Chains A and B, each alone.
Chain A
Amino acid sequence: MLNMNGISKVYQTEMVQTHALRDFDLQVNEGEFIAVTGPSGSGKTTFLNIAGVLEPFTQGQYLLDGVDIGKLNDNQRADIRNQKIGYIFQGFNLIPDLNLYENVEVPLRYRGIKAAERKRRIESSLEQVGLASRAKHLPQQLSGGQQQRVAIARALAGKPRFLLADEPTGNLDSLMARQVMELLEQINRDGATIVMVTHDPELARRAPRNIQVVDGQIADFSLYQGNPAAVVGA
C-alpha cells in the first residue's frame, strides 16, 4: 500500500541545512497498524507528513496505492489527501468556530459529497466515536479526549484507507489515551491501515508492528531490542 524508497528530506534555512530524513525506506501493507517511535527531532513527524502528502520530499520515490506521489501537482495532492488519507493530530485541530457536525463535514464538502450523504456519514461517524448527541456543540465545550474523538470521526467520515496519527494521545491523560487507542484498534480491525507516531512505549507495544526512527532513518529494530544504547548513542 505504501512504498517509500530512498526518501530524503532536507530543510533549508538561511543558516543551516537539516537532513530530517535520510535514505528512508519503508513498506506498509494494507491493513497494518504500525507504531513509530524515536527520539525527539529524529524525523517522525517529517516522515508522517511526507507519507500523508502534506509535504514534498527532496529525493527518492514514494508510491501510495501505486500512485507516484512525487509526480503529482498541488490539486492532485489535495485530492489524494482528501480521498485516501485520514489525519489525527496531537492538537486535535478542530476548527473552533464550527460545531462538531460542521467540523466532521469539512473534508466531505471538499470531496463534493451531496448533503444527504454527508449527513448520513457525519451521523454514523459521530455515532462510532460516541458523540452523536453532541453534534451541535462547539469544540471548546468538550474535553480533550472528546475533541480527539471528534477529530477521529472527521478522519473516518471520508472512509480513508490510510490513517495517520501524530501523537494522537500526546495531549491526553492515560485513561483517555487508552480510549483513543481502543478506537484506533477498532478502526484498524475494520480494515484501515494505520501509522501512528507515539512517545508512549505502552501504546507502541500494543501495535502489531513497531518501527523506530533515529536520526532520519529507520533503526535496525533487532539491534534496538538487543542493545538500546547502541541506537541512542548513534
Chain B
Amino acid sequence: MFEFRPIINALLRAKSGAILLLMQIAITTAIVSNAAFIINDRIAYLEQETGLPEQDLFQFNMMIFGKNIDLAKQIEVDESLLRSIPGVIDAVYINAVPLSGGGSGGSYNLLPSNEKSPSINASYFRADSHVLNTLGVELVAGRDLNESDVMVTSDVSELPKVALVTQAMHDEMFPQGSGLGKTIYRRDNAIKIVGIIKLLKGPWLQDERRDRSLIFPQVRPSSFQKFLIRTEPNERAAVMRRIEDVLLAEYPDRVIDVIKGLDQLKAEYVAEDTLMVRMLMVLITVLVLITALGIFGLTLFNINKRLKQIGTRRALGARKSAIIRYFLVENTLICSVGVVLGSAGALWMGAKLMALFSLPSLSVSYVIVTGAFVILMSLFAVIGPAKRAADISPSIATRSI
C-alpha cells in the first residue's frame, strides 16, 4: 500500500536530488534544535522572577555641590521630600540599584577572619530602614530593619551589627537549619541576620551572585548620590517628571540625571541577550522557510521531471490518492533520514557549544521536538506539489514522448 520498498530502491538509484534535500534537512534540524534550546534558555533568563515590582521602581543619580552642606542632613531632608511627593510609596538613598549592572559586593564567612571557614560572595545594598518597603520585596522570616539599626557614618571600615539576607544567600551559608539570628562575618565585623528576604535579584543578573544579597542598615553620605523610589502603580512616569523640580526647589546646587525605571535598566543590561534571542529567532525562521521552500521546489522539480512517469502510473491504475501518497512517502523517507542525521549533528553541535560558550547541555527533548516539527513541516511543503502531481492526466502517458 505504501510502496516503501520500490520507493527506497528508486531513491537509491537516483540519489543526487535526495541527498541535497537530506543534507538541508539534517542541517536545519541540527541548527534549529540548538537555536531553539538557546532561545529558551535565554528567554528563561530574560523572564526570570526578580522579586521586584520593576514597573513601579525608578532611580536617579545626583551630584550635590556646596562646601558647607551637611550631607547626612541633606539626604534626610531629600528622602522625606521624595516620600511626600503624591504617588510615591517610599524612597531611599542607596548605594546600588538592583538589575542595573552596577553595584558592590563582598565575601562573607561563618567565622571571623582569623579562623578558617568557607566564604560566600554576595552583593550588598546600603540604605536606611525604608529600603525593604522601597524595594517592595517580601520578607519570609525575621523582622524588617528599624530606625535604631541604622548607622550613619563615612568610615569605610565600620559595618552595622545587623543585616537582612536573601533566602538564596542564607541557604548557601546555612545549608542545614536556620541562620536567622545567627552571626556571619565580613572580615572581623560580626553581622547578625535579623531577616530573610524571599527573592531579590542583585545588580548583576548574569553573575553567580545574582540571588545572593545583603542589605545593611547604613547610610554613608557622599556627594555622588543614588536614590531609589517606588511609586503607586501607573504613577511612576508622573513622579519621574517632577523629581528634578522638587529637589532643585529645595536646594539648587545639584545635578540630577539617569532618571530611569528598573525595567529600563534591566532592558539595557540584558540588551545583548535580547538581541541574540531575536537574531536566533530570525535565523530559525529563515532556515525553516528555506528548507520548506527547498522541499517544495524539489518536489515540484521532481514532478516536472516525472510527468510522463506519473501519467503512466495513472494509466496503469494509480488513483490520485496513490500519487499523493507516493510523494508524501518519498519525502518522509528522505526527511526521516535527514532528521536522524540532523539529530546526531544537533547533539554533537550542542556538546561543542557547551564546551565553547559554557551553555547548558542541549536537552534531547529539543532535538525530538525539532525533528518532529521538521517532518511535519516537510509534509506541509510537499502536499501542494503532490496534489498537483495527482492532477496530471493519465493521457500524458500517450501524448508525450
User: Which A residues are in CB contact (< 8 Å) with B14?
Assistant: 97
Asked if A161 is at the interface (CB within 8 A of a chain B CB), the reply is: no
Is B316 touching A45 in the complex (CB atoms < 8 A)?
no
Residues on A with C-beta less than 8 A from B316 are 81-82, 87, 106-107, 110, 154
Determine if B13 and A109 form an interchain contact, defined as CB atoms under 8 angstroms apart: no
Per a CB cutoff under 8 Å, which of B1, B312, B317, B321 touches A89? Answer: B312
Closest Cβ of chain B to A78, distance in Å, is 4
Query: Counting chain B CB atoms within 10 Å of each CB, which of A48, A52, A98, A109 scores highest?
Result: A109
**Contact bitstring B350-393, A, C-beta under 8 A = 1, else 0:** 00000000000000000000000000000000000000000001
Report if B241 contacts A (CB, 8 A).
no
Tell me if B3 counts as interface (CB < 8 A to partner A).
yes
Interface: A112 (CB within 8 A): yes
User: With A54-B398, A166-B398 in contact, is A74–B13 under 8 Å at CB?
Assistant: no
Q: Would you give the shortest CB distance from B127 to chain A, in whole angstroms?
A: 78
**B-chain residues with CB within 8 Å of residue A102 when the two chains form the complex:** 6, 9-10
A55 contacts B393, CB within 8 Å?
Answer: yes
Q: With contacts A49-B398, A105-B6 known, is A74 near B320, CB below 8 A?
A: yes
* Chain A 144-182 residues near chain B, CB threshold 8 A: 154, 158, 166
In the bound complex, do residue B312 and residue A95 qualify as a contact, i.e. CB atoms below 8 Å apart?
yes
Does B397 lie within 8 Å of A87, measured CB to CB? yes
Q: How far is the CA of A55 from the CA of B315 in the complex (A)?
A: 10
Complex-state Cα separation, A52 to B316, whole angstroms: 10
Known interface pairs A97-B10, A102-B9. Does A110 touch B401 (Cβ–Cβ under 8 Å)?
Answer: no
Hey, which chain B residues are within 8 Å of A49, CB to CB?
A: 395, 398-399
Q: Are B10 and A81 in contact (CB under 8 A)?
A: no
Could you tell me the distance between the alpha carbons of A105 and B3 in the complex, rounded to whole angstroms? 10
B210 part of interface (Cβ distance < 8 Å): no
B269 to chain A, nearest CB (A): 59
B161 close to chain A: CB less than 8 A = no
Most chain B CB atoms below 10 A, which of A79, A93, A105, A154: A93
Task: Please report the C-alpha to C-alpha distance between residue A106 and residue B309 in the assembled complex, in whole angstroms.
Answer: 11
Chain A residues numbered 95-129 whose CB sits less than 8 Å from any CB in chain B: 95-99, 102, 105-107, 109-112
Asked if B313 CB lies within 8 Å of chain A CBs, one says yes
- Cβ of B170 under 8 Å from chain A: no
Interface-centre pick from B3, B398, B399, B400 (highest chain A CB count, 10 A): B398
The answer to whether B401 touches A91 (Cβ under 8 A) is: yes
Chain B 162-204 per-residue mask, 1 if CB under 8 angstroms from chain A, else 0: 0000000000000000000000000000000000000000000
Q: Does A59 contact B (CB under 8 A)?
A: no
Query: Is B314 among interface residues, defined by CB-CB distance under 8 A?
Result: yes
Contact, CB under 8 Å: A45 / B399: yes
* B interface footprint on A62-91 (CB within 8 Å = 1, 0 otherwise): 000000000000110011011100010111
State which size class the interface on B falls in. 20 to 34
A20 to chain B, nearest CB (A): 11
Residues of chain B contacted by A55 (CB below 8 angstroms):
393-395
Q: Do A90 and B317 touch (CB < 8 A)?
A: no
Q: Does B322 contact A (CB under 8 A)?
A: yes
* B283 within 8 A of partner (CB): no
User: In the complex, are the beta carbons of A87 and B315 less than 8 A apart?
Assistant: yes
- A231 interface contact, C-beta 8 A: no
Interchain CB contact under 8 A, B13 and A110: no
Contacts of A135 in B (CB 8 A): none
Are B13 and A81 interface neighbours, CB within 8 A?
no
Assess whether A138 is interfacial by the CB under 8 Å rule.
yes
Question: Which residues of A are found within 8 Å of B318, using beta-carbon distances?
Answer: 78, 82, 110
A98 touches B10 (CB 8 A): yes
- Contacts A79-B317, A109-B3, A112-B1 given; indicate if A93 touches B9 (C-beta within 8 A): no
Select from chain B the residue with minimum beta-carbon distance to A86. B316
In this complex, what residue of A is CB-closest to B401? A91
- Whether A74 pairs with B398 at a CB distance below 8 angstroms is no
B residues near A81, Cβ cutoff 8 Å: 314-317, 394
User: Which residues of chain A have C-beta atoms less than 8 A from B308's C-beta?
Assistant: 91, 93
The residue on A at minimum CB distance from B310 is A95
| Residues 310-362 of B at the A interface (beta carbon under 8 Å) | 312-322
Residue from B6, B9, B315, B319 having most chain A Cβ neighbours under 10 A: B315
User: Closest approach, in angstroms, between the C-beta of A167 and any C-beta of chain B?
Assistant: 9
Max chain A CB contacts within 10 Å: which of B13, B312, B319, B397? B312
Complex: A87 Cα to B1 Cα, angstroms: 22
> Using Cβ atoms and an 8 Å threshold, which residues of chain B touch A166?
398
Q: How far is the CA of A99 from the CA of B10 in the complex (A)?
A: 9
Q: Please name all residues of chain B whose beta carbon is closer than 8 Å to the beta carbon of A75 when the two chains form the complex.
A: 319-321
Name the distance in Å between B321's Cβ and chain A's nearest Cβ.
8
Least distance between B237 CB and chain A CB atoms (Å): 66
Verify A110–B322 contact, CB threshold 8 A: yes
CA A122 to CA B379, docked complex, whole Å:
33
Q: Using CB atoms, name the residue of chain B closest to A77.
A: B394
Q: Which residue of A lies closest to B318 (CB)?
A: A110
Cβ of A106 to closest chain B Cβ, rounded Å: 6
A98-B9 CB under 8 A given contacts A54-B315, A93-B308: yes
B319 near A78: Cβ-Cβ < 8 Å: yes
Can you list 25 pairs linking A and B with CB atoms under 8 Å apart? A49-B395, A52-B315, A54-B394, A54-B398, A55-B395, A75-B320, A75-B321, A78-B314, A78-B317, A79-B317, A91-B401, A93-B309, A93-B397, A95-B309, A97-B10, A97-B13, A97-B14, A98-B9, A102-B6, A106-B6, A106-B316, A110-B316, A112-B1, A154-B316, A166-B398
